[in-house]
Amino acid sequence: MGTLQDHPPLRGRTHVFRDRAHAGEILAEMVASADDALVAAIPAGGVPVAISLCERSNLALEVLVVSKITLPWNSEAGYGAVAFDGSVRLNEALVDRVGLSRREIDEGIAKTREKVAARSARLRGDRPWPKLAGRHVFVVDDGLASGFTMRVAVETLAQLGADRLSVVVPTAHERAARSLVQDVDALYCANLRGGSSFAVADAYENWYDVRDEEVIALLEKVGYLTAE
C-alpha cells in the first residue's frame, strides 16, 4: 500500500483551482522532490494539468490514452476501459448488474480499441513509448471520481515495467483515492473531498470539456508534437 498525500488547506473545499493549469502549479509543489520521473498525462483534461506540472518541475511528458467502454444506451456511463496498448479491464459487477450480452461487450471493446488507437495516433504521432524500467511514472488526470479509468492506466504501465507508479490528480473523491492508493506507491491529491455527491468539475472555477484540438495545440506549443 502506498502513501496518500493531500493539501490540507484545500481539503473538502470546492472551486479551489482557477483552471487546470493552476491545478498543475499546485501539484508541482507537492511533487517537487521528484528526480527523473516521467509524467504520463491522460487526455483530454489531464494534459493541461500535466503540462503545467512539467513546466514547473522540469519533468518529461508523455500522453497516455485510456478510454472507458460506454454502455450501448448511455455514452456517459462506462462498464470498462481500454488502454493504449489494447489491454482491457471490465467492471464485472456492473456488467452483471446491467445484463450486457457477450456480443454487446465484444462490440464495445472492439469499438473502443479502434477509438483509442486513432486517438493515440493523433495525440502521440509516431512517438515510441520510452523504456519504463527503472523509471518513476506520475500518472496525471484532472480528477478522480470512481478511479476505474486511472486503475487501468496504472495497471498498463506496471505491465510495461514501470519501476514506481504514483497517481497525481488535482481533485479526488476520498473513497476512490483510498482504494487506488493500495495499488500504487503514492497518490498525490491537492483537493481531497468526500460526501455522497462528487463532481470533478466542482473543484474548478473555470471548467469545460477539453477538446482534442486544444490538446494538440498545447502539445505542439511545448514541442511534444510537431505542427503539421
Q: Cα(first)–Cα(last) distance of the chain, in Å?
A: 44
pLDDT surpassing 70 at residue 228 = no
Contact status, residue 81 vs residue 149, Cβ threshold 8 Å = yes
Domain shared by 26 and 82, yes or no? no
Domain shared by 208 and 176, yes or no? yes
Contact status, residue 166 vs residue 183, Cβ threshold 8 Å = no
Domain shared by 54 and 138, yes or no? yes
* Strand bridging mode 186-193 / 3-6: parallel
Collapsed DSSP state (helix, strand, coil) of residue 201: helix
Q: Mean per-residue pLDDT for 70-92?
A: 84
| 109-114 long-range Cβ contacts below 8 angstroms, 24+ apart | 109/69, 109/80, 109/82, 112/67, 112/68, 112/69, 112/70, 112/81, 112/82, 113/82, 113/86, 113/88
Domain shared by 76 and 158, yes or no? no
What domain range includes position 92?
68-123
Banded model confidence at residue 227, pLDDT cuts 50, 70, 90: low
Predicted pLDDT at 113? 94
Span 143-166, pLDDT tens digits: 998 888 899 999 999 999 998 999
Q: Is 123 left (phi over 0), alpha (psi -120 to 50) or beta?
A: alpha
Domain shared by 86 and 199, yes or no? no
Q: Mean per-residue pLDDT for 45-67?
A: 94
Question: Between 118 and 78, where is the model more confident?
Answer: 118
The length of the chain, given as a count of residues: 228
Banded model confidence at residue 98, pLDDT cuts 50, 70, 90: confident
Domain shared by 10 and 44, yes or no? yes
Domain shared by 82 and 181, yes or no? no
The domain spanning residue 92 has which CATH number?
3.30.1310
Does 178 reside within a domain?
yes
